[in-house]
Amino acid sequence: MILQGTQTLTSLIHIISESLLTPVVILLVIAVIIVLLAFGGIINEFISRKAISSKELEELIRSISFSNNVSQMKEVIDNSNLFDYQKIILNRIADNYDIGKEARKAFASELISDEETRLIKSTNKTDILVRVGPILGLLGTLIPLGPGLAALGSGDISTLAQALTIAFDTTVTGLSVGALAYIISKFKKQWYESDLITTETLAEAELESISRW
Amino acid at site 116: E
**Helices (H) and strands (E) in the chain — how many of each?**
8, 0
Q: Which residues have a Cβ under 8 Å from the Cβ of 213 and sit 6 or more positions away?
A: 68, 69, 97
* pLDDT tens-digit readout, 164-184: 888 999 999 999 999 999 999
**pTM for the full model?**
0.82
Span 78-94, mean pLDDT?
Answer: 94
Q: What is the pLDDT of residues 194-207, one digit of tens each?
A: 999 999 999 999 99
| pLDDT surpassing 80 at residue 102 | yes
pLDDT digits (tens, 9 = 90+) for 52-74: 888 999 999 999 999 989 999 99
Please give the Cα distance from 115 to 96 (Å, whole number).
Answer: 18
Over residues 8-30, the pLDDT tens digits come to 776 777 677 778 889 999 999 99
Cα–Cα distance between 171 and 137 in angstroms, integer?
4
Q: At what angle do helices 157-211 and 70-78 cross, to 10 degrees?
A: 150
Q: Crossing angle, helix 101-121 and helix 157-211, to 10 degrees?
A: 160
Per-residue confidence (pLDDT) for residue 14, from 0 to 100? 67
From residue 93, how far is each of 77, 90, 110, 146 by CA, in Å?
11, 5, 11, 62
DSSP string, 61-121: HHHHHT--SHHHHHHHHHTSS--HHHHHHHHHHHHTTTS-HHHHHHHHHHHHHHHHHHHHH
